[in-house]
Amino acid sequence: MTTTPDALREEVRQKYADAALAATEGSGCGCGSGACCDGETASADFGESLYTSEERAELPDAAALASLGCGNPTAVAELHEGETVLDLGSGGGIDVILSAKRVGPTGLVYGLDMTDEMLALARKNAAEAGTRNVVFLKGLMEQIPLPSESVDVVISNCVVNLSTDKAAVLMEVARVLRPGGRLGISDIVAEDRLTQEERAQRGSYVGCIAGALSKSEFEAGLQAVGFEKMSVEFTHEVADGIHGAIVKAVKTSAPEAKGLPVIRPAATAGCC
């Protein structure tokens, strides 16, 4: 079947709302500490298991339970004291809290999420962790509610693949980053050999599989909006030809908004 972008976004929003409520109740996401919390992707390669024991000790229990990511972007981005950081799809706040500790009291971390339940959980977790240099914003990563050239680093953990307009996401990331700003994210990325239909056969959109960009598509999209020094490094396979990946790039020129192949939702397998 074919699903509209708005319907897919609502499906993603509802799933993360449910995950936030489950974490608040202390039951985790209900199907393991998996990225996008589906049986199709849940394993030891996702969620809180990707953080060190020292990092987990810095977090409230509910923040760890709400971790649905496929990597550890705070380690990927190599954050420095005094920097301003934006976390796309900040969820329960795990990466915001850890980032805030890395950038210190002179730094600032924004957490952006579209889900009221996740934002409520993140604010509660940040308060419990005693984290003061954070601001949580409600909004879409395709329309980031921040001024141009206002942040030094953009991070995210397994959320770009969930967008139905990835060109807009990359354009917005380039817009809000200062010249020389860095992108350091964890995401799900497909091998170039897989078509969109083949990606959909391996898992659902809300399960972070069907909507994954290929390695070359990610690189082309970053280059099109003014990034250089791009790298897309596979870290672990989550399905045949689909991998968790570390994506890095540096903003060096003005965004041009061209060159990214449009990824249109294909027929997807059912969720959970």
- Tens of pLDDT along the chain (272 residues)? 457 888 878 877 787 777 777 766 665 543 333 334 444 444 444 444 454 455 555 555 544 444 455 556 666 778 999 999 999 999 889 899 999 999 999 999 999 999 999 999 999 999 999 999 999 999 999 999 999 999 999 999 989 999 999 999 999 999 999 999 999 999 999 999 999 999 999 988 888 888 999 999 999 999 999 999 999 999 999 999 999 999 999 998 666 555 555 555 554 433 33
Q: How many residues does the chain have?
A: 272
**Residue 190: what are its φ and ψ, rounded to 5°?**
-95, 155
What whole-number distance in Å separates Cα of residue 219 and Cα of residue 215? Answer: 6
CA 121 to chain centre: 17
Which pLDDT does position 207 carry in this prediction?
A: 83
| Amino acid at the residue 258 | K
The secondary structure of the chain, three-state, reads CCCCHHHHHHHHHHHHHHHHHHHHCCCCCCCCCCHHHCCCCCCCCCHHHHCCHHHHHCCCHHHHHCCCCCCCHHHHCCCCCCCEEEEECCCCCHHHHHHHHHHCCCCEEEEEECCHHHHHHHHHHHHHCCCCCEEEEECECCECCCCCCCEEEEEEECCHHHCCCHHHHHHHHHHHEEEEEEEEEEEEEECCCCCHHHHHHHCCCCCCCCCCCEHHHHHHHHHHCCEEEEEEEEEEEEECCEEEEEEEEEECCCCCCCCCCCCCCCCCCCCC
Domains and CATH numbers, the chain: 5-251 (3.40.50.150)
Q: Give the pLDDT of residue 14.
A: 81
d(CA 269, CA 229) in angstroms, rounded, equals 35
Tracing tokens 């083949």 back to the chain, one arrives at 198
Q: What is the pLDDT of residue 221?
A: 95
269, two tokens: 């397998």
